[in-house]
Structure 1
Amino acid sequence: MNHIDASAHYDETAFKTQVPSLLVVIVDLNPRAWAVLNSELPISQALANILVYINAHLAFGNENQVAVLAAHTNRAIWLYPRPPSDTSSQRSRDRDGDVDMNSDEPIRHSTNTADLGTSANKYPLFAQIESTIVASIRDLLAETTPADIEPTTTLMAGALSMALAYINKTSLAYEPAKASSDPNEQATAAVAQQKAPNLHSRMLAVSVSDSDPAQYIPTMNAIFAASHSRIPLDTLSLAGKPTFLEQAAYITGGTFLSVSSNPRGLLTHLMFGLLADSDAREALVAPTQDTVDFRVACFCHRNVVDTGFVCSICLSIFCEVPENAECLTCGNKLTLGNYGAKPAVVPRKKKKKKKLLNGAGREETGSATGTPIPAT
């Protein structure tokens, strides 16, 4: 009809495509923590709930993407998309690094038709993600040795760094091409891109263990990098006290939920509290934090403290005064002032005593006679 009468009946802005959303899920796979939580929430049930949450995120738009990371006790690995195996990437190569196409070794794909599931009621993309994540977790658990179970903490800082690097790489692919060489036009395009981003990114950390004080510095570096890039970090705590992740949710504008009292309601909290993206949350009432634990880890003993000494040059935090009052990071001489001196005792002022006159108390006025009483 528009081509016949040469008129526009519809607003083109209403048919613009939805801005794609990237969700990076970081799952805490600490074996000891999950063993303690097994009676209330087995890891298989928790993984099934997380897969439902991921499928719901992908169902919001065809261009939505997802990535899943596992934070183990001593390393962080990708669960989806799974990196190519060493056998497939290091097949027979010549000196120039090219793959020998005449090799008789068959090419191994990361997923095959059998991994995608045989049910006709399962969406192929959902089945592919499920099979890849399950296979990656099985390989991780099979490679876990008794020495890997000794640490009681999780390498969450490494997982956050890997997630931020993946988000940055994906965001670069969505940036428009710079066709003009004029710096003024490029600056205008950069301002327009900041107002209307081409990709909405966010992270979700499912934690089951306490925050490691030894990872305070790298964790805060990742948190401030996410805040500078406007990437919210949501945290769902099933057990333990993730102090640093609680601060991360507050600093980056994310949501922090602690369900340690009822971890069986994992799917409910995921779907109703953490499914909406940053744009949708502006029109919704998102869960808020009543109190935030702002304690930090000292740089000397890696203890979580609420009161300490801060260097004025490098902002290093110490739980006690270092030797010779010198900063252990930059060597600056700490000025302690009158710290450690005994407080001065201020004597109390004596109050004036009251005289009793005719059985009633009155303040002393210095008069020889009392106040006359009218006759009745």
Structure 2
Amino acid sequence: MKDVSLSEGRDSWHIIVVAIQLDIIDDSNLLVMIIDTNPFAWEDSSNAPVPLSLESALSQVLVFINAHLALKYNNKVVVIASHIGKSKILYPLADNEEPTISNNGNKRNANMYPHFQIVTDQIVSNLQKLLSGTDTSFLKKDMGASPTITGALSMALCYINRVTKLDDEGHIKPRILVLSVSPDSAYQYIPLMNCIFSAQKASIPLDVCKIFGEETAFLQQASNITGGVYVKMENRQALLEYLMMAFLPDRYSRNYLNLPTQDQVDFRAACFCHKKIVDIGFVCSVCLSSSFYIGFLQLVSCLLNLQNQVCVQTKGASSF
């Protein structure tokens, strides 16, 4: 009788494992990729000792996107450009989720899978339109111009929310990948943190690949809070290798892989008044919605700026 019970137990566990595997097979991995297209940062990247142009990076990104689509028949991808002053969806088109091959005069590559060519052509075409419509002469006058990463993240979260609402069985597994070349913008701190906590609440991992420039404290926090992967490229000529090894595995496969982790995370915040990243600050314990982070030497000026706001009481300021 013991042998029979053990056999039945093994069979039941086998059925459970098979059911889980079949459920995972039906999952659709939705990759929302946000590409930082800051023209000034890419110009600096092209002139760096180890140069990497936007054109060269895009060609490697397209290979990575095709690899993601090739992993499973129902994998999906969304590409968003985080540009100066605006964000734009490069793929798919807003009015046609599954476009057909158009006869626009371009020669079809007989060696390329048709769907890959559709994705590649759309991304390249829409990015060219975005870059050609950018008035760089006007932007150079505003040296504080920065890409709207918060706008791109908001678009990504809205798209994911719309798609997952239609998925009653929960087979869509979304994740966001940010390719960053720009430094942190303290002016975007509050809306960026709102996006980060929204992604955390929705269980959406936010991966970050820092291609060029200094470490970004805010994106480090985003990756750490949402359980994503943060990688700062040491060898800028190996972008494709970084993408394939660190960011290609889906959410389920990551449970069995040793992916890069962050040894140290920069948890600094930005002053709500002066829009500067500070190490030590104070937060109002009376009005949480109007909380402010300030350095000790800037305490007086911050209080003067906020003295006309009734909701903020200076007596309630306490260090954190």
TM-score (norm 2): 0.82
> Mind listing any 5+ residue stretches in structure 2 that lack a counterpart?
1-13
Alpha-carbon distance in 1 for matches of 2:206, 2:308? 32
The answer to whether residue 293 in structure 2 is matched with residue 317 in structure 1 is yes
Bigger radius of gyration = 1
Aligned to 2:194: 221
Using the TM superposition, give the Cα deviation of residue 15 of structure 1 relative to its aligned residue in structure 2, in angstroms: 4.9
User: 190, 205, 210: which one pairs with 1:232?
Assistant: 205
Aligned to 2:132: 142
Alpha-carbon distance in 2 for matches of 1:63, 1:235? 24
Using the TM superposition, give the Cα deviation of residue 239 of structure 1 relative to its aligned residue in structure 2, in angstroms: 1.4
Aligned to 2:3: none
Using the TM superposition, give the Cα deviation of residue 329 of structure 1 relative to its aligned residue in structure 2, in angstroms: 8.3
Q: Secondary structure at the match of 1:55?
A: helix
Aligned to 1:269: 242
The answer to whether residue 185 in structure 2 is matched with residue 212 in structure 1 is yes
Aligned to 2:40: 32
Alpha-carbon distance in 1 for matches of 2:89, 2:277? 30
Q: Does structure 1 retain, via aligned residues, the 8 Å contact 2:34–2:80?
A: yes
- Label 1:175 to 1:278 Cα distance change in 2 as closer, same or farther (>3 A): same
The answer to whether residue 279 in structure 2 is matched with residue 286 in structure 1 is no
Alpha-carbon distance in 1 for matches of 2:195, 2:232? 22
More helix, by proportion: 2
Aligned to 1:153: 146
The answer to whether residue 103 in structure 2 is matched with residue 113 in structure 1 is yes
Alpha-carbon distance in 1 for matches of 2:281, 2:134? 38
Q: Kindly provide the amino acid, as one letter, of the partner of residue 72 in structure 1.
A: H
The answer to whether residue 58 in structure 2 is matched with residue 65 in structure 1 is no
Alpha-carbon distance in 2 for matches of 1:329, 1:110? 58
Q: Does structure 1 retain, via aligned residues, the 8 Å contact 2:139–2:145?
A: no
Aligned length: 285
Tell me the alpha carbon deviations over residues 331-368 of structure 1, each in whole angstroms, 9 at most, x when there is no partner: 2233458x9xxxxxxxxxxxxxxxxxxxxxxxxxxxxx
Q: Kindly provide the amino acid, as one letter, of the partner of residue 102 in structure 2.
A: N
Aligned to 2:9: none
> Mind listing any 5+ residue stretches in structure 1 that lack a counterpart?
1-9, 86-108, 177-196, 340-376
Tell me the alpha carbon deviations over residues 8-30 of structure 1, each in whole angstroms, 9 at most, x when there is no partner: xx967365543101000000000
Q: Kindly provide the amino acid, as one letter, of the partner of residue 280 in structure 2.
A: T
Q: Does structure 1 retain, via aligned residues, the 8 Å contact 2:26–2:171?
A: no
Using the TM superposition, give the Cα deviation of residue 70 of structure 1 relative to its aligned residue in structure 2, in angstroms: 0.3
Q: Kindly provide the amino acid, as one letter, of the partner of residue 20 in structure 1.
A: S
Alpha-carbon distance in 1 for matches of 2:310, 2:273? 9
Q: Secondary structure at the match of 1:318?
A: coil
1:9-24 alignment, distance < 5 Å:
13=19, 15-16=22-23, 17-24=25-32
Q: Secondary structure at the match of 2:124?
A: helix
Q: Kindly provide the amino acid, as one letter, of the partner of residue 43 in structure 2.
A: A
Alpha-carbon distance in 1 for matches of 2:194, 2:66? 31
User: 311, 314, 319: which one pairs with 1:330?
Assistant: 311
Aligned to 2:92: 81
Aligned to 2:113: 123
Q: Does structure 1 retain, via aligned residues, the 8 Å contact 2:283–2:317?
A: no
Using the TM superposition, give the Cα deviation of residue 111 of structure 1 relative to its aligned residue in structure 2, in angstroms: 5.5
Alpha-carbon distance in 2 for matches of 1:79, 1:329? 44
1:144-223 alignment, distance < 5 Å:
144-145=134-135, 146-149=137-140, 150=142, 151-176=144-169, 197-223=170-196
Using the TM superposition, give the Cα deviation of residue 44 of structure 1 relative to its aligned residue in structure 2, in angstroms: 1.0
Calculate percent identity across the aligned residue pairs: 37
Q: Secondary structure at the match of 1:153?
A: coil
RMSD: 2.4
